[in-house]
Amino acid sequence: MTLLAQILVGIVAALHFGFLTLEMFLWNTPRGRATFGTTREFAADSATLAGNQGLYNGFLAAGLVWSLIAADPVGFQTKVFFLVCVIIAGLYGAATVNKRILFIQAVPGMLALAAVLLAR
């Protein structure tokens, strides 16, 4: 179960590095606009906000990577903290932006958190 928990935490971290990339570097590109369903004008007008959002996703990813390399009890505590942050952000995004965020962000975080807690 410990290996599964580590893999799931790694997947959640990778997802958030992907979100960082989309929001900070690809926001104004055809791929970024298609991913988020935005127009060229909206993407241009909101690029600064998207970049800020991407930076926060990068912090979540960095915290999860830290949790994978830190020794316990810090590693465990850090996994729990950052996964709960991911879940809360995903629930808020699903409630306020798009229901898809529940499945793209919150559910993977929930699965990883469950695995981390069960592996304890």
Domain extent for 8: 2-119
Per-residue pLDDT of 20-75, as tens digits, reads: 999 999 999 999 999 999 999 999 999 999 999 999 999 999 999 999 999 999 99
Per-residue model confidence as pLDDT tens digits over 103-119:
999 999 999 999 999 99
Of residues 89, 99, 47, the one with CA closest to residue 64: 89
Task: Determine the pLDDT at residue 89.
Answer: 97
Single-letter amino acid code for the residue at 75: G
Q: Tell me how far apart the alpha carbons of residues 91 and 2 are, in angstroms, rounded to a whole number.
A: 26
Domain count within the chain: 1
Give residue-wise pLDDT tens across range 88-99.
Answer: 999 999 999 999
pLDDT of residue 1 exceeding 90: no
Amino acid, single-letter form, for residue 116: V
